[in-house]
Structure 1
Amino acid sequence: MILVAGGTGFVGGGIVRELRRRGHGVAVLTRDSKRAASRFGDLGVELREGDVRDPTSLGPTLRGSEVVIGCQQFPNSPIENPSRGYTFEEVDAKGTENLVAAAKASGAKRYIYLSGAGAAPDAPYHWFRSKWRAETAVRESGLLYTVFRPSWVYGPEDRALNRFLGMSRFLPFVPLIGNAGTQRLQPAFIDDVSRAVAEALVHPTADNQVFEIGGPEVLTMKEIVHTALEVSGRPRLMLSAPKAVMKLAASILQLAPGRPMTPDAVEFITIEALADPTRAELTLGIKMTPLREALATYLGPASRQERGANS
């Protein structure tokens, strides 16, 4: 049995579907099994209730799991909400430490962790330092491990690129933040990330290794959004708001109920995300998909016609 912590999220959900496609038995760690019940339809996924922030909830949840995959995120990430314990430190760092301890106690043999490109002990941002702390817990666990550091992951369920596409449905322009024309990213398709994780389970050369995983192209945020709008058949003018202005607005918005935005979140979404996939491709036998080709699988004309026929 493979247990996926964070399996109800965007990245975790992609991994769960890929593992089930390959015939693996999968259990998903979730805080609320009733809300998660409709997430995977008839895929045959087992739901187990637990919270990575609560070590006492993890023992029974991990029992019988040979592999644990950690890709948990807090709700509305990257907008932290300390009053509710939704922070990178509580969920990524401490949450992974709790999961690793529970995995060892339950007799698991392998741990796969989804970190992030930029994780380092002296990283300038606290979210990268939290991910490094999580990586350290995994590396020092004594379990077989594989750590992936993805760049900027996109796909049918992402909340980043799809937010821009959503705005294009009712606006004649798409608002961007900061220097979108120079912010460099290597967008990684969720299907490729999921395949990499699944392949790590069967490639001994992936044991006790750390892999960066990004797309095959280095593109600016403006180029990415432009391509997505073009593929979806809704070309729009793109206008950028200065990052300083957005951070000022976010400093006020963070006081509103639900914390719709914070200055740190503005910083998070405007930093570069580069990750060289070469070593992962060679070791795991995967090939990263170019942006336009990947987008066409769920935004292109054929995909739109299929959705229309099913609606």
Structure 2
Amino acid sequence: MTQSAPLVTIFGGSGFVGRYVAQRMARRGWRVRAAVRRPNEAMFLRPYGDVGQVEPVQANIRDDASVAKACMGATAVVNCVGILAEAGKQSFQSVQAQGAARVAKAAAEAGVTRFVQISAIGADPKGPSDYARTKAAGEKAVQEAFPGAVILRPSVIFGMEDGFFNRFAAMARISPVLPITGGETKFQPVYVGDVAEAAAKAAAGEVPGGIYELGGPEVATLRALIERMLKITRRRRLIVDLPAGVAGIPASLLGLAQSLTGGLYVNNTLTADQIAQLGVDNVVGEQAKGLKDLGIAPTAMEAVLESYLYAYRPQGQYSRLTESAKNMRGA
């Protein structure tokens, strides 16, 4: 890999989405700088490319100096950093609003020519949750620094390391009851590989700037998605859809536990902010530009889910052999 190859800096390059973006940019022949808080934990990225092609570097989007250093020499910057729940200094405001603004400002000052922001469907300055409002604030800051930026708004993202299907499948492994809230809220799950391909195309300058909402080929309610997970994992569980007011009680208790432990316990299970956001459908808008406009055919859930959810079956990878043996005995 020569030093003349273009360089992309990916903030959050070792995260769920970021690692897929890094892999695709490396395949395109780019040098990849993965800007992460703990680079020693991101060394798994190096084999994504040739020797020296993919390098983790230290950067914290709450720190001006490290962000500026990570942007130096880059042709493109992709910001994949986002959180679903607050913990300590990692607040929605500091990460998704101020953090995005800091990265965009530093990138502009460093002479970066292309900027890609991973946002979320539902980003709205008047949204019901801090999550939605800070996502919108981050978008606004990016557009002010880079009028031609590409902003990607995915629905819930699925893939091998996802925090959605894996989370509920892990719960189903140990609990006979799956409590949820917002069971009738609609989602349009999108494959992480499709999101990464969209980001890679944008970083490479292959698509025009603007906002793109990314969703897969299927819209389903939260309850239906969990039912699909249970079918794949061969689990029979009772799904209990709690009203928002009732769900707020355990959310408050979990939030209190986080406060009382000084952050030693982090409430990633259920928060009041998540409950508020679950009251709004998470699907691609009728007039929004999407994967089709980016030249990407959306990947269906059925093509991917079983490839990693099989691990949650009672017999794991041996489930099919066990089922075949039962069928033979019953023949």
Q: Give the TM-score normalised by the residue count of structure 2.
A: 0.81
User: Aligned runs of 1:168-247 on 2, under 5 Å?
Assistant: 168-173=172-177, 175-180=178-183, 182-202=184-204, 204=206, 206-247=207-248
1:8 shift after superposition: 1.8
Task: Establish whether residue 262 from structure 1 lines up as the match of residue 268 from structure 2.
Answer: no
Q: Which amino acid aligns with 2:45?
A: F
1:172 shift after superposition: 3.5
| Structure 2 residue aligned with 1:295 | 305
Q: Which amino acid aligns with 2:303?
A: E
Q: Which amino acid aligns with 2:276?
A: E
Is residue 185–residue 278 contact of structure 2 (8 Å, CA) maintained in 1? no
Task: Establish whether residue 25 from structure 1 lines up as the match of residue 31 from structure 2.
Answer: yes
Whole-angstrom CA distance in 2 between matches of 1:91 and 1:191 = 24
Shift in alpha-carbon separation, 1:123–1:19, aligned structure 2, 3 A: same
- 4+ residue segments displaced more than 4 Å: none
Q: Secondary structure at the match of 1:90?
A: helix
Q: Which deviates more, 49-58 or 291-300?
A: 291-300
User: Aligned runs of 1:1-311 on 2, under 5 Å?
Assistant: 1-37=7-43, 39-40=44-45, 42-44=47-49, 45-73=54-82, 77-81=83-87, 84-142=88-146, 144-173=148-177, 175-180=178-183, 182-202=184-204, 204=206, 206-256=207-257, 257=261, 258-260=265-267, 261-269=270-278, 271-276=280-285, 279-299=289-309, 305=317
Count of paired positions: 297
Q: Give the TM-score normalised by the residue count of structure 1.
A: 0.86
Aligned-CA RMSD value: 2.5
Q: Deviations over 1:122-156 (max 9, x none)?
A: 22322222112211122121464111111111211
Is residue 157–residue 192 contact of structure 2 (8 Å, CA) maintained in 1? yes
Shift in alpha-carbon separation, 1:276–1:21, aligned structure 2, 3 A: farther
Shift in alpha-carbon separation, 1:20–1:270, aligned structure 2, 3 A: farther
Is residue 125–residue 136 contact of structure 2 (8 Å, CA) maintained in 1? yes
Aligned sequence identity (%):
30
Whole-angstrom CA distance in 2 between matches of 1:3 and 1:305 = 38
Is residue 78–residue 268 contact of structure 1 (8 Å, CA) maintained in 2? no
1:117 shift after superposition: 0.8
Q: Which has the larger radius of gyration?
A: 2
Q: Secondary structure at the match of 1:216?
A: coil
1:26 shift after superposition: 1.1
Shift in alpha-carbon separation, 1:151–1:200, aligned structure 2, 3 A: same
Q: Which amino acid aligns with 1:120?
A: D
Is residue 4–residue 68 contact of structure 1 (8 Å, CA) maintained in 2? yes
Whole-angstrom CA distance in 2 between matches of 1:235 and 1:270 = 26
Is residue 67–residue 108 contact of structure 1 (8 Å, CA) maintained in 2? yes
Is residue 31–residue 50 contact of structure 1 (8 Å, CA) maintained in 2? yes
Whole-angstrom CA distance in 1 between matches of 2:182 and 2:130 = 22
Q: Secondary structure at the match of 1:97?
A: helix
Whole-angstrom CA distance in 2 between matches of 1:245 and 1:96 = 34
Is residue 112–residue 146 contact of structure 1 (8 Å, CA) maintained in 2? yes
Q: Secondary structure at the match of 1:196?
A: helix
Is residue 156–residue 189 contact of structure 2 (8 Å, CA) maintained in 1? yes
Whole-angstrom CA distance in 1 between matches of 2:209 and 2:141 = 13
Is residue 109–residue 144 contact of structure 1 (8 Å, CA) maintained in 2? no
Shift in alpha-carbon separation, 1:142–1:198, aligned structure 2, 3 A: closer
1:176 shift after superposition: 3.2
- What runs of 5+ residues in structure 2 fail to find an aligned partner? 1-6, 321-331
1:202 shift after superposition: 4.5
Whole-angstrom CA distance in 2 between matches of 1:95 and 1:229 = 37
Shift in alpha-carbon separation, 1:9–1:292, aligned structure 2, 3 A: same
Is residue 155–residue 190 contact of structure 2 (8 Å, CA) maintained in 1? yes
